[in-house]
Amino acid sequence: MHMTLPVIGTVAAWRARVRGLAAEGIAPGDVVWQVGEDAGTLFADARPSIPPRQLRINRAALHEIETALCHSDPERFNRAHDVLLRLNDGLVWGDRTDPAVRRILEQAKSVRRDIHKMHAFVRFREVGASGPRRAFAAWFEPEHSIVEVGTPFFAKRFGDMDWVIATPLVTARFDGQLRFEETRSTAPPPPDATEELWRTYYASIFNPARVMVKAMQSEMPRKFWKNLPEADLIPGLIRGAETRVRQMQEREAEEAPARRLAVARRMATPDRPMPEAGSLEALRAQAADCARCPLHAPATQTVFGEGPPDAPVVFVGEQPGDQEDLAGRPFIGPAGRVFDEVALEAGLDRGRIYITNAVKHFKFTQRGKRRIHQRPATPEIHACQGWLEAELAMIRPRLIVAMGATALQTLTGSGAGLLQRRGMMEQTKKGVPVLITIHPSYLLRLPDAELARAERVRFCQDLAKAAHFLAA
């Protein structure tokens, strides 16, 4: 049996006819489907070969099947017919072990992706007014038959103008009401006066630092480029991306941090009272908006502490580094990896300690692509001290380990003579014991390998004291 479906309303016509075929007991293998002009009867009329039935199907399955019917695969109609019958015989919808169901789901996904491309890459060109409303036209070449399901999006978004979207097979027209017709002309609309403006805008927002050619071509396949006014700019923008990035980095190194810091100094609020918080998570959320010192401006984000809220030992470092600033977590860069290794050697249970920094923002100098760490100044340490004190007040540790001079200054009031005070126990103003040691980054800066090994052993001995304190 030969079934011809119209070009417009294909899915609705298929749905009606397949119900009739099921009622007559015609099997999918006895039907040849065609979209468009009737080619005449290819076979004799089919006779009933399966039990007649009334089709019943859940809404989710019907939606996926009808989406897949917009695919360009010529076998889609027979496949959907077969699955409909088997769903009524007990087949479970969504069972990807069934080849036909899996194929329908894959094709529905492909159709949705094509609709997404249509929404992204249709470019309207003004073709003159249509009465009081402006009129626009666009040419698009979809992979599948998606005009009827894809264009209602444009009717909602551009309901105040008349427009036409033509494709090789179907054309959508909107003048307050959306209508469809078979395409009569395949000539794209001529360029309009705004295209050069759009090309200028596109070139200005093109970010050379984020160019990933494969990802871009995956999202914007080349087959769409010929209908995009900005497409002929893309090869040149890609070729010049590396040079533009280098120029941006040079300008950043010379100008941007100083300019941002100058603005941030004027906006800093060092005397702003510290907020009250009922938990570490609430305190973390409040610290995310901290602007008490200028460091918040060039830094990516506030880097708060991590660990159990009842940790018996708190380790305090200096400030986040480059990787911590980007990730928003303390001690995950090179110094953090050294700390983790030595802590393991010293017998510290990493899951029982809380680790944080005296200063919560990364202070740096930009040199080309690199951000070089700078030691925080005393006003910056004082501005951030309230956050550390709030953390300690909530955790109430039995021991604090000061790693480096900045941490020691914050906790005891003086960071002088770190190496002479190393390994000793002092106290905070509130009487909490403070074990003094170096910052693990110190080990990374030592040029002499033998000295670095010796200092690492001493650092391990310092952390072993904290482990002993934990075990006591």
Domain count, the chain: 4
Please state, in angstroms and as integers, the Cα–Cα distance from residue 367 to each residue in 136, 246, 248, following that order: 50, 11, 12
Do 172 and 61 fall within a single domain?
no
Res. 14: pLDDT tops 60: yes
| Mean pLDDT in residue range 102-129 | 92
Q: Over 288-354, what HEC string results?
A: CCCCCCHHHCCCCCCCCCECCCCCCEEEEECCCCHHHHHHCCCCCCHHHHHHHHHHHHCCCCHHHEE
Select the more confidently predicted residue: 354 or 370: 354
Residue 187 in domain: no
Angle (CA) 160 186 164, round 5°: 5
What one-character-per-residue DSSP string does 428-448 give?
-TT--EEEEE--THHHHH-S-
Is the distance from CB of 24 to CB of 52 less than 8 angstroms? yes
Res. 42: pLDDT tops 50: no
Do 440 and 466 fall within a single domain?
yes
Do 200 and 298 fall within a single domain?
no
Residue 188 in domain: no
Residue 269 in domain: yes
Residue 21 in domain: yes
Do 109 and 222 fall within a single domain?
no
133: pLDDT confidence band, cut at 50, 70 and 90? Answer: confident
Res. 426: pLDDT tops 80: yes
Mark which of 208, 234, 251 sits at the end of a domain. Answer: 251
Do 16 and 58 fall within a single domain?
yes
For residue 288, what pLDDT is reported?
Answer: 86
For residue 266, what pLDDT is reported?
Answer: 58
d(CA 82, CA 97): 16
| Mean pLDDT in residue range 335-358 | 91
Do 303 and 421 fall within a single domain?
yes
For residue 44, what pLDDT is reported?
Answer: 46
Res. 78: pLDDT tops 90: yes
351: pLDDT confidence band, cut at 50, 70 and 90? Answer: confident
Residue 463 in domain: yes
Res. 252: pLDDT tops 70: no
Mark which of 251, 267, 284 sits at the end of a domain. Answer: 251
Is the distance from CB of 28 to CB of 65 less than 8 angstroms? no
Residue 314 in domain: yes
Query: What SS3 state is found at 229?
Result: coil
Do 312 and 363 fall within a single domain?
yes
Residue 223 in domain: yes
Do 289 and 152 fall within a single domain?
no
d(CA 361, CA 321): 9
CA torsion sign for 80, 81, 86, 89 is positive
Do 89 and 177 fall within a single domain?
no
Select the more confidently predicted residue: 10 or 205: 10
pTM of the predicted protein model: 0.51
Mark which of 100, 117, 134 sits at the end of a domain. Answer: 117
Please state, in angstroms and as integers, the Cα–Cα distance from residue 339 to each residue in 112, 113, 395, 417, 440, following that order: 49, 47, 21, 22, 6
For residue 43, what pLDDT is reported?
Answer: 42
| Mean pLDDT in residue range 228-245 | 83
How confident is the prediction for the chain on average, in pLDDT? 86
Query: What SS3 state is found at 57?
Result: coil
The rounded percent of the chain whose pLDDT value lies above 70 is 90
Range of the domain at 126: 122-182
Do 145 and 227 fall within a single domain?
no
Residue 92 in domain: yes
Do 381 and 270 fall within a single domain?
yes
Do 305 and 417 fall within a single domain?
yes
Residue 370 φ/ψ, nearest 5 degrees = -95, 150
Summarised one tens digit per residue, pLDDT across range 369-410 is 788 888 888 888 988 888 899 999 999 999 999 999 999 999
Q: What is the CATH number of the domain that holds 279?
A: 3.40.470.10
Select the more confidently predicted residue: 187 or 104: 104
For residue 408, what pLDDT is reported?
Answer: 93
- The strand ranges marked E within 175-234 are 178-182
| Mean pLDDT in residue range 437-466 | 92
